[in-house]
Structure 1
């Protein structure tokens, strides 16, 4: 079976790619095993197989990096995943906190023809419901400078680029607070404890859905929730 159609290899490629999409440090075999929920020995064997196929560059006990071919294949899987998430939210009535696991299954099953049909029906979206960029069919990807919200300095203003879909409960709490991709936020001085991040919304978001009333008050987020949000740098 070709590597691009092997669900296990697709999961490895996507996980390696996703690890460095929003931070610079390459993934280690141990971290990969933890993320995938498999034994380190399983990772060792799969990495050898993928390296033999020219998908991963790796030295023993060192970090893992995708080759050009591996990155191309990883982006194809990422495209499937994010288009499916977008389709489930827009067309099937799912909440943004409900789509990740469904997309994990469907990304391996959809034909290229059906994926193209979904992409066209949705109007070629550039971002999924969480703000992650959707790679184009040719593998190109829009990239902007970013900073994680919990690491942004007081006074920094930026548009919410992405909210991690790792924790559905965090997604629900942020939705309740009105935080969504496309919103423009300004970081306020933190409280003395440093355990919360204060932000206020500002005009200039993407579209009418993110209009901000003039009397909008600052809101407080836990540092854990703020660490799941990326804004323009």
Structure 2
């Protein structure tokens, strides 16, 4: 089986500061994977390399067996930690923009998600709360028929009601032939949706395992294991 995402010996530094150090991992199809680490651990750098937005200094990065390039960017849907929408847009303008920009954007799915997220297509983007804006960004990201979805801190700074809605949408609307990687440091709130987790600390992978294996072998929740690993 070809991995959806495969990183081999990936390293990256900024101004002499190591962001990723010899990172290797594989993510199989049909997985929702948590990329878990504290701020500054290397999560966003890893996500941007996987999305094809920045290049690694060394190592190989592949999506569905292809070295990351323009072709793989066409099958990778990235939700950054800052909105991609413009301030002049209404919700429906954002849908039109993504429809024009991405050949794989599914307008029917987008409108279903807008209803699920309780978003009004006539609302201005600037009038949306942070939680509503996160719901919109997630709608835009998941409405593409991609192979790899990358969600960078999708529940950061939003209230518990919005978090629950966002997590339900991730589970309900992703394509099961694809995989989703969700980066977060808010482990307790989100671990229920993960099939697998990757712990990253100081630019290095310190654990990658199935959630069920962690619970059975350690008798701990992912959140408890996360606190134990990152307290060291």
Q: TM-score w.r.t. structure 2 length?
A: 0.24
Of Structure 1 and Structure 2, which has the larger fraction of its residues in strand? 2
Larger radius of gyration: 1
The structure with higher relative contact order (CA 8 Å, sep 6+) is: 2
Q: TM-score w.r.t. structure 1 length?
A: 0.24
Of Structure 1 and Structure 2, which has the larger fraction of its residues in helix? 1
